[in-house]
């Protein structure tokens, strides 16, 4: 195993880790919204977006390296990372929409 492929593996694991964190935090946000804790839900969605940003930044680094001529190994692990990230993005978008719906259905505060 070369140093370059080891570096790619670490970056791939970073995508998987950040993507998984983002998805988990987004589901925590949904649970908070189900309990009508919308401020908490918004904070958690923000944290999830930060995790996705980190994953996307790593993904972009790998893409740019390949564009600049540094071969990136296409492995099952890389495919898994891409799948993990795409799923996290998709689920976060769906969860954000679900939170909007829950807000509309939330009981009105009593004065």
Sequence spans of domains, the chain: 3-105
H-type helices in the chain, by residue range?
3-34, 38-67, 76-105
Annotated catalytic residue, options 56, 80, 84, 97: 80
Active site residue 80: yes
Please enumerate, by residue number, every residue annotated as part of a binding site: 83
Please enumerate, by residue number, every residue annotated as part of a binding site for Mg(2+): 83
**pTM for the complete prediction?**
0.86
Q: Please give the chain's pLDDT, 111 residues, in tens.
A: 455 555 688 999 999 999 999 999 999 999 999 999 999 999 999 999 999 999 999 999 998 988 888 877 788 999 999 999 999 999 999 999 999 999 999 888 765
Contact in structure between 33 and 41 (CB atoms under 8 Å):
yes
CA 86, chain centre distance (Å): 8
Q: What is residue 100's predicted lDDT score, i.e. its pLDDT? A: 97
Architecture of domain 3-105: Up-down Bundle (1.20)
């Amino acid at each position: 195993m070369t140093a370059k492929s080891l570096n790619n593996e670490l970056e791939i694991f970073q995508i998987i880790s950040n993507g998984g964190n983002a998805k988990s935090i987004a589901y925590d946000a949904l649970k908070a919204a189900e309990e009508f804790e919308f401020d908490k839900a918004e904070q958690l969605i923000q944290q999830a977006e930060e995790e996705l940003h980190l994953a996307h930044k790593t993904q972009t680094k790998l893409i740019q390296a390949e564009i600049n001529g540094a071969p990136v190994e296409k492995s099952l692990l890389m495919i898994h990372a891409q799948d993990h990230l795409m799923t996290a993005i998709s689920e976060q978008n769906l969860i954000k929409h679900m939170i909007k719906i829950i807000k509309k259905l939330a009981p009105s505060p009593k004065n």
